[in-house]
Amino acid sequence: MARYIFITGGVVSSLGKGLMAASLAALLQARGYKVRIRKFDPYLNVDPGTMSPYQHGEVYVTDDGAETDLDLGHYERFTGVSARQSDNVTSGRIYQQIIARERRGDYLGATVQVIPHVTDAIKQFALADADDLDFVLCEIGGTVGDIESLPFMEAIRQLRNELGPQQTVSVHVTLVPYIAAAGELKTKPTQHSVRELAALGIQPDVLLCRAEHPIPESDRRKIAQFCNVRAEAVIPALDAPSIYSVPLQYHAEGLDREVLRAFGIDDAPAPDLSRWHDVTDRYFNPEGEVTVGVVGKYVGLQDAYKSLNEALVHGGLANRVKVNIRWLDAELFEREGDELAAQLEPMHAILVPGGFGERGSEGKIASVRFAREHGVPFLGICLGMQMACIESARSAGHAAASSTEFGATEEPVVGIITEWMSEEGLQQREEGGDLGGTMRLGAYDAVLSPNSHVARIYGGASTISERHRHRYEVNAAYRDALERDGLIFSGMSPDGLLPEIVERPDHPWFVGVQFHPELKSKPFDPHPLFAGFIAAGLRQSRLV
Ligand code: GLN
C-alpha cells in the first residue's frame, strides 16, 4: 500500500509549499520510488478555471482536461508524472458532489455533515488510485488555522489514525523570520504554528523551516524541543538561487532522509541526482543569452504565466543559454508613438501568449506584424496564434479580420466553436452557456503536414498530442486565403477541421499553435517548440 506524506503550511502563505512538495517527490523518485502528488484546495470554487489569473495565477490544464491549481505544474515539471483530474480537489468540488448525492437521496435520510461526509470524501480523494504507488504526497492549500482548511486537517488527522505511523508522515512548512533590528532569527512563529497544528490533532514529523539566513544549531535545537520534533528533522530551507536548485538543496539538508526515517525506512536506495546536477549545471553556466519579449495582458503578475516562464527557461537549458524574459504590456503598443518599435527592436524573439478578452489584442496583432516584417522569431500560443492569423488575414486584404471573442465581425477569422470531436465523442456547447469547465480542454491530437517546419521541430513526428484550453478556433474557411498569403496550416485536428498549427515558410522562425506547449515542458526534457524557438532567438541575437 502507498505511504502518505501530508504537507501543511504555517505562519504565512506563499512559503513555496508546492515547490517543496514537488522537490520532495523528485528526491523520492530519484531513489527509485513511484510517486504522485495531490493538491487539496480549501476554496469554494469547483476548480480554478473561472478565476482571474490575478487572483490565482495560471490555470494548469492536465491531459485529461482538468483545470487545476498551478502547483500541479510544478509537480509535473519536477517529476515528469502527468497530473490528472483526480490529483486536485477543492472544497467546492467536494460540496458539489455531496449536495448532488443528497439531492438524489443517496444518504437515505441521514443528516449530511462535515464530519463524516465531507471528511470521508476528502479521505477517498487522498486514497483513490494509489495501488501502484510507493508515496502519495498530499499538499493542503492555505495556512494552518484557516477556517476553510479545517475539514482537510480533520481528514488528515483521521487518516493518520487509521493508517498508522508507518504509513503516514506529516511535514509542516513554516517561516523563521529574521528581525533586522535585533539581528536575530525568531522561532516563536514556528512554535505557535506547530501548536496550532497539534491542537487539530496533527503532530508534525518533519519541519521545513523557510529562512533568509542560516538557522544556527541552537535555534534548530530550540525548535525541536518546543515542537516535539527530532533536531535532525528540523530542516532549514534557505532561499534558493533558482527553483531548480531546490531538490539538491533540500537533499543536502536531509529532507528526503528525514522523511524516510520518519516512516522507519533506513535502507532506502541512494538517490540518483544526475538529472538535477545536469539541469543546475546548464542553468548556472550559460554560454550565451537570448532576450525574449512576451507581449501579454497579465504581465504584472508572473504567476499568471508560470508554465510559460518555465518553458522559456527550459528552452534556454536545451541551448545552454540564459533566457531574459521581458514582459511587455500589449496595451502600451496600442498608443500613438514609437513605443512598439522601441520596445521590440532589442528583442531576439517575440512571443504572444494565451489570453482572454479584447483588451490589448490590437497591441498583440501589432507585435505579430513587427515580428513578421522584421524576420524576428515568433511563437504565438493559443490567443497568440489567433492574433497571428488575424494579422495575416489583414495583411492579405481582409481589413476587418477579427475574432468573435471581441464582438460581432464581418470577417470572423477566429470564431466560437460549438461542436468538436474528442476521444469521448462529439462535444457540443451552446453560445452563451456556462463558462466553467466548458472550453476545449485537455489533450487532443494534431496531424502535422509532412516536410513542414513543425514536423522537423517535433523530430519528424506525424501526429502529436498537446493540451488545449480555449473556446474559439481559427476559422478553417480562411485557410486558402491565408495560405496564398504565406501562412501555412501545418497542423490540423485529425478530422481536418480545426487548425492546430500555422507557420510561415517565408520567415526564419514563425509558428503559431492553438494548444499550450508550455504545459508539457520539463527542465530535464525541454519542449521541442521552446528549444527551437530559443535556438532561433540565439541565431537572431548574432544578427542584431
Ligand atoms: N481566448 C481564446 C479562446 O478562448 C484563447 C484562449 C487561450 O489563449 N487560452 O479561444
Query: Which atom of ligand 1 is least distant from the CA of 355?
Result: 8
User: Does 357 lie in the same domain as 271?
Assistant: no
Whether 518 is a known active-site residue: answer yes
State the pLDDT confidence band at 435, using cuts at 50, 70 and 90: low
Q: Grid coordinates in use for 470?
A: 480555449
Q: For the chain, how far is it from start to end, CA to CA, in angstroms?
A: 58
Q: Which of 20-24, 432-436, 470-474 has the lowest mean pLDDT?
A: 432-436
Domain count along the chain: 2
- Is 309 a domain residue? yes
- Is 96 a domain residue? yes
pLDDT at 138 over 70: yes
Q: Grid coordinates in use for 286?
A: 550559460
What CATH number has the domain bearing residue 483? 3.40.50.880
Is 472's C-beta closer than 6 angstroms to any atom of ligand 1?
A: yes
- Is 46 a domain residue? yes
pLDDT at res. 454: 97
User: Does 264 lie in the same domain as 296?
Assistant: no
pLDDT at res. 118: 95
Please state the three-class secondary structure of 294-336 as a single string. EEECCCCCHHHHHHHHHHHHHHHHHHCCEEEEEEEEHHHHHCC
Domain boundary among 259, 278, 297: 278
Please count the residues of the chain. Answer: 544
pLDDT at res. 47: 82
User: Does 260 lie in the same domain as 314?
Assistant: no
State the pLDDT confidence band at 340, using cuts at 50, 70 and 90: confident
- Spell out the residues 6+ positions from residue 171 whose beta carbon is closer than 8 angstroms to its own: 5, 6, 7, 8, 20, 24, 204, 205, 206, 207, 208, 259
C-beta contacts of 158-164 below 8 A and 24+ residues apart: 158/119, 158/123, 159/4, 159/6, 159/123, 159/126, 159/127, 160/6, 160/201, 160/202, 163/4
Q: Which of 53-57, 70-74, 382-386, 420-424 has the lowest mean pLDDT?
A: 420-424
State the pLDDT confidence band at 336, using cuts at 50, 70 and 90: low
User: Does 263 lie in the same domain as 147?
Assistant: yes
pLDDT at 232 over 90: yes
In the chain, pLDDT over 90 holds for what percent of residues? 76
- Is 214 a domain residue? no
- Is 429 a domain residue? no
Query: Which atom of ligand 1 is least distant from the CA of 353?
Result: 8
- What average pLDDT does this structure show over 170-198? 93
User: Does 59 lie in the same domain as 160?
Assistant: yes
- What average pLDDT does this structure show over 130-152? 93
pLDDT at res. 383: 96
- What average pLDDT does this structure show over 303-322? 95
Query: Which atom of ligand 1 is least distant from the CA of 354?
Result: 8
- What average pLDDT does this structure show over 151-157? 96
Is 49's C-beta closer than 6 angstroms to any atom of ligand 1?
A: no
pLDDT at 352 over 80: yes
pLDDT at 120 over 70: yes
Residue to mutate (ligand 1; options 307, 416, 472; most atoms within 8 A of CB):
472
pLDDT at 418 over 90: no
pLDDT at 282 over 80: yes
- Is 529 a domain residue? yes
Q: Give the distance (Å) from ligand 1 centre to CA of residue 356.
A: 5
Domain coverage including residue 306: 286-415+474-541
In the chain, pLDDT over 70 holds for what percent of residues? 96
Is 471's C-beta closer than 6 angstroms to any atom of ligand 1?
A: yes
pLDDT at res. 294: 96
User: Does 399 lie in the same domain as 328?
Assistant: yes
pLDDT at 436 over 80: no
Prediction pTM value: 0.92
Q: Give the distance (Å) from ligand 1 centre to CA of residue 354.
A: 6
- Residue from 138, 227, 382, 389 carrying the catalytic annotation: 382
User: Does 274 lie in the same domain as 306?
Assistant: no
User: Does 403 lie in the same domain as 272?
Assistant: no
Instruction: Please write the tens of the pLDDT for every residue from 488-525.
Output: 999 999 989 899 999 999 999 999 999 999 999 999 99
pLDDT at 264 over 90: yes
Pairing of strands 378-381, 349-352: parallel
Question: What does the angle CA 333 – CA 339 – CA 345 come to, to the nearest 5 degrees?
Answer: 105
pLDDT at res. 342: 86
State the pLDDT confidence band at 434, using cuts at 50, 70 and 90: low
State the pLDDT confidence band at 12, using cuts at 50, 70 and 90: confident
State the pLDDT confidence band at 63, using cuts at 50, 70 and 90: very high
What CATH number has the domain bearing residue 106? 3.40.50.300
pLDDT at 437 over 70: no
- Is 430 a domain residue? no
Q: Please give the Cα distance from 272 to 27 (Å, whole number).
A: 9
State the pLDDT confidence band at 426, using cuts at 50, 70 and 90: low
φ, ψ for residue 446, nearest 5 deg: -130, 140
Q: Give the distance (Å) from ligand 1 centre to CA of residue 470.
A: 4
Instruction: Please write the tens of the pLDDT for every residue from 74-110.
Output: 999 999 999 999 999 999 999 999 999 999 999 988 9
- Is 91 a domain residue? yes
Tell the residue nearest (CA) to atom 6 of ligand 1: 470
How high does pLDDT run on average in the chain? 92
Q: 420: phi > 0 → left, psi -120 to 50 → alpha, else beta; which? A: beta
Please state the three-class secondary structure of 103-125 as a single string. HHCCCCCCCCCHHHHHHHHHHHH
Domain boundary among 249, 278, 307: 278
User: Does 398 lie in the same domain as 516?
Assistant: yes
User: Does 130 lie in the same domain as 40?
Assistant: yes
pLDDT at res. 339: 82
User: Does 340 lie in the same domain as 270?
Assistant: no
User: Does 253 lie in the same domain as 331?
Assistant: no
pLDDT at 14 over 70: yes
Whether 382 is a known active-site residue: answer yes
Q: Please give the Cα distance from 266 to 264 (Å, whole number).
A: 6
Is 467's C-beta closer than 6 angstroms to any atom of ligand 1?
A: no
Is 468's C-beta closer than 6 angstroms to any atom of ligand 1?
A: no
- What average pLDDT does this structure show over 450-460? 95
Q: 476: phi > 0 → left, psi -120 to 50 → alpha, else beta; which? A: alpha
Greater pLDDT, 421 or 87: 87
State the pLDDT confidence band at 419, using cuts at 50, 70 and 90: low
pLDDT at 420 over 70: no
